[in-house]
Structure 1
Amino acid sequence: MKTAARSFNLSRTLLSLSAGILFLSACSQEEVKSTAQLAVPNVITQALSFNNSYQHQQRYTGIVRSADTTGVGFELAGKLSDIIVDSGDAVVKGQTLAMLNTQLLQAEQQQLKASLLQTKADLDLAQSNLARSIELKKQQYVSEQQFDETQQQVASLQANQKRLEASLYATELKLEKSVLVAPFDGTISKRHHNLGEVIALGSPVFTLIGTSQQQAYIGVPNTVAQTLRTNQQVNILIGKTVYQGIVAGISAEIDAVTRTVQLRINLPSNKQVINGEIAYLEYQQQITDAGYWVPISSLTDGVRGLWNVFVVTKSDDGLARIERRDVDILYTTEQQAYINGAINKDDVIVTQGLHKLVVGQQVKPTSAAVARSL
């Protein structure tokens, strides 16, 4: 009887243990299944959009200069005796800027005036003698030789008078050019000489910048220059401001150093820009090349210098998984890249969080439309 009771209790214990094991096994499978479902990450995706071409934004560098910018100097050498203006001063056309010492020229002027007066007196006497000689010749009291000599003396004195008058005019012109005046309205940018210096012929005393028309001088490749025309409107970036410029001229030759063609672009007259500022020509060019625009964040480094994107594809088991594709970057902006390579127009790429993913990993696209297309 006791043996039967023990057998019954043992059977009950075994049944209880089996039930518990089955229960724990079922719970474990449900937990694993739940964990597996939670492990599939959501990914932000984007369907590729095919393009036949793209806009290539380029910038070419140049400099701002006034249309009237020149080194102002005397037309003759001399000692600088007076400087009336200095750097930063605004001047108007015809205003006196500086003067040379003119003592020697003034002495030369006085000497020439005296010689001219003497020559005029001698000429008056010679002309009087000639007049008398004409009357005497009529009465045959003067020989032909005397008459010719008198005529020759008058002609010689007249020629000498003209020579002295020309020399006096040249001296007065030198005196006039010893005063340096502004050739146009502008601002003195720099003074190159000091008071008392002996300056050479043609040496600039000041750099004068005109206030009339500011222009940008920018070099561009010949292929770009051929697409532009005179009076065409272009965008010019100076500092942080974009100005509407007008192409005033296109050079007819290529610079031997930079291998570029220089553009001369008029800037708006009501805009305050400083001579020497850096100017940029913003130029858009249509490039015919098939590809796709993608966010910069969708690109990752590949092997051997290549770039990769992660494409979401449907595997044989019907699940969405990650696949790596090699691509070439044709052009980039601050936010996007234009690419082509081992991708198709129907592909769906991951745009963010690529560092958290590996090839072959199961993922769940966040876009329902994209998910249905897989």
Structure 2
Amino acid sequence: MTEPMASDFRTALGRVLTMAVTLMVCGAAAVAVIGGFSLIAATGDPAPGVAAPKTSVGVISVELAPGYTVTRRFIGQIEAAARTDLGFELGGRITEVLVEEGDVVASGTVLARQDISDLIPERAALRAELAALAADAELARLTLARSDALTERGFSSVAVQDEARLTLARAEAGMAAIRARIAGVDVRLEKSVLIAPYPAHIGARRADPGQTAAAGQTVLVLFDAAPARARVGLPPELAAGLAVGDIVTVALDGALMEATIRQIRPDLDRTTRSRSVVVNLPEGAEPVLGDTVALLLTQVVDEPGFWAPLSALREGVRGSWSVIAVEAKGDRTLPAAVEVLHSDGARVFLRGALPPGAQIVAKAPDRVAPGQAVLVQVE
């Protein structure tokens, strides 16, 4: 066989083999298609899809209330029954300060003394002048007695008798003036001693021995030893609802106790525009002067609404709030707009267009969407 004839034979054989393989592949595909249709026909219609499970949510029922109560705290301060900034009425050098800060003293206790070295000789000189005038008065009295006797006998004139009488009057007037000056020195001696005006605790000590204090300068600060009180500023409308003798609740050092209203001032504080209320603390309370105290007042607010847990709130746009309600006849959810009137930390008092008995999602309302089917569980 020649070379050209062998080449043509190989080309024809390749074409035949390619066609045979193609026919085999097409046949296999046709068999697969026919088999698939047969299988589908044998199994019939496909099974319906399984529905997604419902989300379980806890709900509470809406119970309308005519209003709510709110406890308001008003901060005040512990103060002594009386406070006195004690000082000498007259200026002078201080010689003794007999107490220290924190001491407890009884009424009449000597607290401090002033230098009186210039008053002692002045008083002695006045006593000497008084003695001299007393002698003059005695002489005038004797002279007047003799003059009266001589006048009765006709041996003395009336003029001599009048002179003796006026001399005695002048001496007695001089004695009265000296006694007044001595009394003035005694007053200055008395004012040179600071005396506790009542049982007291010594506060600040602002002067020491050797210091020259001006008249009225504070030497010691005294706090009355009587039980301390609390002063609280209240809004005028709340203070008007209280009366002397009412029992109120105060919080001191984390403890609640009952106190009695002692006084209610009739005027307003110019700075805070509040009225001061003074309360007596119960026996056994030992507050620190200047410490803070809280007066607790319960106020009733007449605003209809309902209570809900804080976790039931859902925040909307622009500060709006809503809750997720459950349809009365069904198991689907829908949003309901509400207004927050009050919160006590764990609960909120809401106002909204929800009928009594309506159910709202109590926790995590963001887990469900409006219109979603839910499984209701009453909490």
Report the TM-score range of the alignment, normalised by the length of the smaller protein: 0.7 to 0.9
| Aligned-partner SS, 1:166 | helix
**Aligned partners of 1:300, 1:144: CA distance in 2, in Å?**
117
Asked whether the equivalents of residues 51 and 290 of structure 1 are also in contact (C-alpha less than 8 Å), the reply is yes
State whether residues 231 and 246 of structure 1, in contact with CA within 8 Å, keep that contact through their aligned partners in structure 2: yes
Distance 1:306 1:108, change over 3 A: farther
2:349 matches 1:338: yes
Gaps of 5+ in 2: 1-27
1:151 matched to 2:176:
no
1:53 aligns with 2:73: no
2: CA distance, partners of 1:85 / 1:16: 117
Contact 1:212 1:269 in 2 (8 A): no
The answer to whether the 8 Å contact 2:199/2:225 transfers is: yes
User: Residue in 1 aligned with 2:86?
Assistant: 72
Aligned residue for 2:332?
A: 320
The aligned counterpart of 1:244 is 258
Counterpart-to-counterpart distance in 2, 1:264 and 1:11? 100
**Which amino acid in the other structure matches residue 103 of structure 1?**
S
Corresponding residue number in structure 2 for 1:108: 122
Pairing 1:363–2:377 present: no
Pairs aligned (count): 350
258, 261, 274: which one aligns with 1:260: 274
Deviations 1:61-118 (A, max 9, x none): 2111121222222232222211111211121211111111111222221221121111
SS in 2 for 1:46: strand
Cα deviation 1:158-194 (Å, max 9, x = unaligned)? 1111121122122112212211121122211211223
In structure 1, C-alpha distance between the alignment counterparts of 2:352 and 2:211, rounded to whole Å: 71
Q: In the aligned structure 2, how far is the partner of 1:140 from the partner of 1:334?
A: 112
Partners of 1:11 and 1:201 lie apart in 2 by 123
Q: Normalised by the size of structure 2, how large is the TM-score?
A: 0.85
Separation in 1, partners of 2:229, 2:117: 43
C-alpha contact (below 8 Å) 1:250/1:262 kept by paired residues:
yes
Which aligned pairs between 1:130-279 and structure 2 lie closer than 5 A? Answer: 130-279=144-293
Secondary structure, counterpart of 1:44 in structure 2? strand
Contact persistence 1:189–1:206 (CA under 8 A)? yes
Q: Which amino acid in the other structure matches residue 240 of structure 2?
A: Q
Asked whether the 8 Å contact 1:314–1:320 carries over to 2, the reply is no
1:252 Cα deviation from its structure 2 partner: 1.5
Inter-partner Cα distance in structure 1 for 2:97 and 2:32: 125
Distance 1:327 1:108, change over 3 A: farther
Across the aligned residues of Structure 1 and Structure 2, the Cα RMSD in angstroms comes to: 2.3
The answer to whether structure 1 residue 62 and structure 2 residue 76 are counterparts is yes
CA distance in 2, matches of 1:76, 1:269: 40
The residue type paired with residue 240 of structure 1 is G
Q: Which residue of 2 aligns with 1:283?
A: 297
Q: In the alignment, which residue of structure 1 is the partner of 2:40?
A: 18
Structure 1: gaps (5+ residues):
1-5
Describe the shift of the 1:366–1:128 C-alpha distance in structure 2 as closer, same or farther (beyond 3 A). Answer: same
